[in-house]
Structure 1
């Protein structure tokens, strides 16, 4: 299969480790010029050197994805160094703090949604104009989760944020198709990353989140379970190869764990049953054959 990635440029948020670094390595080996951006500048420098040692052309940029100006600075630096941008990977994300709906702090919700949702919005708004302008097409990969395909008890903020990422990806895929920009939602289950240690890069404005984390840490069980689940996941290198494979076959949804097919199918069956119930409703069944009008 031809290598359509060689000679093109990718910006990867959260590129200093985990999924972001694995994708940087994989696409770099395919001949892409890589821009890794991350809030952790110490790890960023280490990652940059690792990519250089692998003979990958790389630029590193400090980036807090909640800061739009930093996104604009990253795009400008990427263009100055490599020229046209062809790929955006909105990877940076946080796992939130496990807790019931009545015990999850509003500040935790704000932190998770600002990073996981607005970080993706910021990245796409800052980068899409550049990708559209050169007219060569490209790819936007938004890192969601299997949690975006099904709600997860006691992880409402995280699941909601990833469902938003899936929905935004679906919306933008239609919007950007005419520009030959493919948009995909990457929905893995457990992967060997440090997402369970998201507090290590907590921005000062969300310092109250640590109070909820401290309460959770006293019990230990939820923290240990999250750590065990992440460590039982697939290696990031496997995920990266799967992403390339899925892009080459034109997937809008990139799944890495086929064993979760039944859970998504069950959700689909509930949706279908709900439509059947509406069709049988004396209140709304007259709408069944109406033309579907989209904006």
Structure 2
């Protein structure tokens, strides 16, 4: 297994104690544009998307093997696990958010809002109340590279929520290309990246439950200095980790850039996983990387 030396760049003294392995493992390097990593503790495996090749791959942590999990895959992008450990995915090709049941059955959770087809759901998170939150930029309908060319029907690119009753609600607007999203550990704050505008926004998510209000706030708390922020995750200390053109950026909850893990490719997404939740899995252009660190991910439903 190939490795590269880790390069931690300190921007703030609060980042100095963060580190881990002195090397980053290369787990797979045969993709075209990798995305959507999600770790299953039950399977000891990581699922991730190779969008242009229309397949979902599976890395087996116990053997180190990478194989095809689903192909074709409706040009799947981001995914997460819900409280029951089921896989929830965003699919560019079907323009929907879907869930895979334990027996392999695929269930559509959302494919339209107010009678209009969604653009191309991109990334998704699950909340403890059973709701599913996702971003809907137009990457999958802009060209045929990551989906099928089509016209938008929703009047723009927005953030949506699927309630436990199946109702799809638009919860945030005023984006160019909403992309990655992540809840704080207490689920009262939702962070959302806008890759088109190269910044990170912070929203108040209100009280959990199907009567939760539309997101409030939405202040820009960070500007990306290397491309635009893509996927994000939150660690147990509340820090935000964001994928960028030069690696992973680690931000304080107020948006202060604490430091970076430099990587040689444009990074698209990341997740915490491994038996103790302290392995960072990173999708970056055609490569899947992993590095064990001395921080753990915030405990999302059925995962990290």
Structure whose residues are more often helix by fraction = 1
For normalisation by structure 1, the TM-score amounts to 0.28
Q: Pick the structure with greater CA Rg.
A: 1
Q: As a proportion of its length, which structure holds more strand?
A: 2
TM-score in terms of structure 2 length: 0.27
Structure having greater relative contact order (Cα 8 Å, sep ≥ 6): 2
